[in-house]
Copies of this chain bind each other. A is one copy, B any other.
Amino acid sequence: MKLPKLKRYQKDFEYSYSFGVNPTLDLIKYRGEQVLKVLLKKEVSENDREDVNRIEEWCKENGVPVSFNERAIERIAYKENTYVIGIFKKYTEDLDPEGDHVVLVEPRNMGNVGTIIRTMKGFKFNDLALIGPSVDVFDPKVVRSTMGALFNIRFKYFNTIEEYMGEYGDHNMYTFMLKGKKSIKDVKFNTPFALVHGNESRGLDEKYLNIGESVVIPHSDDIDSLNLAMATGITIWESRR
């Protein structure tokens, strides 16, 4: 793939960026075959010297071009102290038909999706389904908030929940809703399962009451709802408890 003049990320790019040393290390570790190029600044802090050397060596061994290009980095990066950028071809992957899944319906907030991905990895969930119009997981704001975990999960987009269920019909579906029929404390999660959460502002609509088992996370009336990442984190935690 030939790269054009590099600019700040836009959703329609065929490639995206990892910013900083640790996310770029995770990129080459888990998605090495996607890496197109690495950009470096000449000055590197003493702390990071060793890691940056590892990145350079990896590139040499794998025939990936490295370029010292301060101006390109300054043009692309959001933070001033960025001195490593990995450029990688975007990808998607089938989910594990036997693994437990997290399913997000029309998520909109990049920080939420990033935090969910980081939490998934913390509790051995490796598969994320995104239903309908969703956050672009390759947006650098998502990549950053996953702290590198993005490169270590599988994810796939689906137009509708029916499309997802067509492919992964064996999964036991648990749909999380304020109107859910059962408290999460009483649910026995039968593997392989899918934890399904709705949009930040609307949650899941009524039709999800008839899909799988609908579940509520009981909380006080003092709040309208939990934050999406928090609700998903609690279900991830409980399902592994």
Contacts and interface: CB of A to CB of B under 8 A. Distances in A.
B121 A220 contact: yes
A149 B227 contact: no
Given A115-B230, A230-B115, A223 B185 contact: no
Chain A contact surface mostly? helix
B115 A227 contact: yes
A227 B224 CA distance: 23
Interface residues on A, range: 20 to 34
A187 to B, nearest CB: 13
Given A152-B222, A234-B234, A237-B237, A227 B119 contact: yes
A60 interface: no
A233 B115 CA distance: 13
Interface in A216-241: 219-220, 222-224, 226-227, 229-230, 233-234, 237, 241
A147 interface: yes
A121 B234 contact: no
Contacts of A220: 121-124
B224 A147 contact: yes
A144 interface: no
A111 interface: yes
A118 interface: yes
Q: Which 5 A-B pairs have the closest CB atoms?
A: A122-B219, A121-B222, A230-B233, A122-B223, A115-B227
Interface string A149-184: 100100000000000000000000000000000000
A223 B147 contact: yes
Interface in A42-87: none
A69 to B, nearest CB: 29
Contacts of A118: 223, 226-227, 230
Contacts of A121: 220, 222-223
Contact of A241 (B123, B185, B219, B229): B185
Contacts of A219: 122-123
Given A121-B220, A121-B222, A149-B222, 18 more contacts: A111-B111, A115-B227, A115-B229, A118-B223, A118-B230, A119-B230, A121-B223, A122-B222, A123-B219, A123-B220, A124-B220, A147-B223, A147-B224, A185-B241, A227-B229, A229-B230, A233-B234, A237-B237
